[in-house]
Amino acid sequence: MLDMKFVRENPDIVKQNIKNKFQDQKLPLVDEVIDLDEQCRKAQQEADTLRAERKKLSKQIGALMGQGKKEEAEEIKAKVNSFAERLDEIAEQETNLREEVRKRMMLIPNIIDESVPIGKDDSENVELQKYGEPFVPEFEVPYHTEIMEKLKGIDLEAARRVAGNGFYYLMGDVARLHSAVISYARDFMIDRGFTYCVPPFMIRSDVVTGVMSFEEMDAMMYKIEGEDLYLIGTSEHSMIGKFIDTIHKEELLPYTLTSYSPCFRKEKGAHGIEERGVYRIHQFEKQEMIVVCKPEESKMWFEKLWQNTVDLFRSLDIPVRTLECCSGDLADLKVKSIDVEAWSPRQKKYFEVGSCSNLGDAQARRLQIRVSAKDGKKYFAHTLNNTVVAPPRMLIAFLENNLNEDGSIRIPEKLRPYMGGKEVIR
């Protein structure tokens, strides 16, 4: 959410930003919110004037009563009472106006970084760099669920009977591999100085609307019936929510946290749920990283965060590349985002395995996460998040890139301690 003062003083910048995100239907919101804000400030000014006048007249009532001028005092008292009625009307008007301003401000997208390429959708994202040499073996690489089935590592049919499409049972060495990857990612981030955390897997609505746009919320979140609780779609939600309505000493920043959680997603929209595979599903597990920092440090942390994911995948011999997300592919709260994509020998192309985002002060403004400077001034923190690793997408990349011709899977050296020393699974 933008600062109202910034919108008021820079409407053309806000409108151009909306155009750059190809959301022209939101352009009227800017003028509407400025008009509503002006009405609200006028109401506030009238209220302030009435309160000052009421205070002045209240003093006169006491003086007149002391002089025995009861009739004159009663006349002024009636006038003061009329002020009170008008102040109640203004208070209600202000409340309604502020709510209308807030509703519209929640829909106006954050100002994207000037370095973000302008484009309509993910087809116009820009490749930045490749890490590692993509490799295609001489033998045919089967579909990922076929690899898992040959290892007796997955049961989709049983999962469909129990929960429907978009779920799976992982079994045996594949299930162990899944846990090994998560454990390795946890220790990888701890070694890089991040504090490990297991957060709540449900959050309240005020946290949901603080960390994401309404469009994302509708497409992703599962609501707990009869309660003000939602299942998290990523642990970033509850990790950033940890800081709601708090003020932090500047010298304590940054907070760097890495978290494990299951994730639950509706996956509404064009992509949908793939019945055959496990690329896009309703439930999965993930290791995440978040940073809460001073505004001047957020660009530096952004570069560090996506690099962590690249380094983790390369430590497991998986080729990856980075993509700069274009303006039309950025969610409304994001200032800048880079996707990390892993190489698929079967498809002979890269596919997304993680996303790193700088949200500026958008989440902090919505959640009231503030920083107290040494001079006593307070300002909003910046928040960032990034995927460390998210099986089963990671498993797809891992299995395809470590597949032997006989169907067995090589275990990279870094992962062997988490697999009981195994060098291969068959």
Confidence of residue 147 (pLDDT cuts 50, 70, 90): very high
Q: Which of 367, 336, 358, 333 is nearest to 248 (CA)?
A: 367
Q: Which of 74-78, 321-325, 332-336 has the lowest mean pLDDT?
A: 74-78
pLDDT in tens, 29-72: 999 999 999 999 999 898 888 888 777 777 777 776 767 777 77
pLDDT in tens, 382-426: 999 999 999 889 999 999 999 999 999 999 999 999 999 999 999
pLDDT at residue 216 in the model: 82
Looking at the DSSP bridge assignments, the partners of residue 389 are: 287
Where do the structural domains in the chain lie, given as residue ranges?
4-105, 122-425
Q: Let me know: does 21 contact 13? Beta carbons within 8 Å.
A: no
Q: Which of 289, 295, 275 is nearest to 380 (CA)?
A: 295
- Could you tell me the two tokens for 390? 């998210």
Residue with tokens 């076929």: 146
pLDDT in tens, 339-381: 999 999 999 999 999 999 999 999 999 999 999 999 999 999 9
pLDDT at residue 31 in the model: 97
The pTM (predicted TM-score) of the whole model is 0.89
pLDDT at residue 274 in the model: 60
pLDDT in tens, 1-37: 899 999 999 999 999 999 999 999 999 999 999 999 9
Residue 30: which region, alpha, beta or left (left: phi > 0; alpha: psi -120 to 50)?
Answer: alpha
Radius of gyration, CA atoms only, the chain: 28
Range list of β-strands (E), 119-163? 126-131, 154-155
Say if residue 297's pLDDT is above 60: yes
* CA dist., res. 38 & res. 143, Å (int): 59
Average pLDDT in the 325-334 region? Answer: 96
For a pLDDT cut of 70, what percent of the chain falls above it? 97
Average pLDDT in the 275-293 region? Answer: 91
* Higher local confidence (pLDDT), 86 or 398: 398
Q: Let me know: does 326 contact 116? Beta carbons within 8 Å.
A: yes
Residue type at 395 in one-letter notation: L
- Could you tell me the two tokens for 355? 């996303």
Angstrom CA distances, 234 to 49, 102, 288, stand at 48, 25, 8
Domain 4-105 has CATH 3.30.70.2860: no
- Under CATH, to which class is 122-425 assigned? alpha beta
Q: Which of 306, 338, 310 is nearest to 325 (CA)?
A: 338
Residue 269 per-residue DSSP state: S
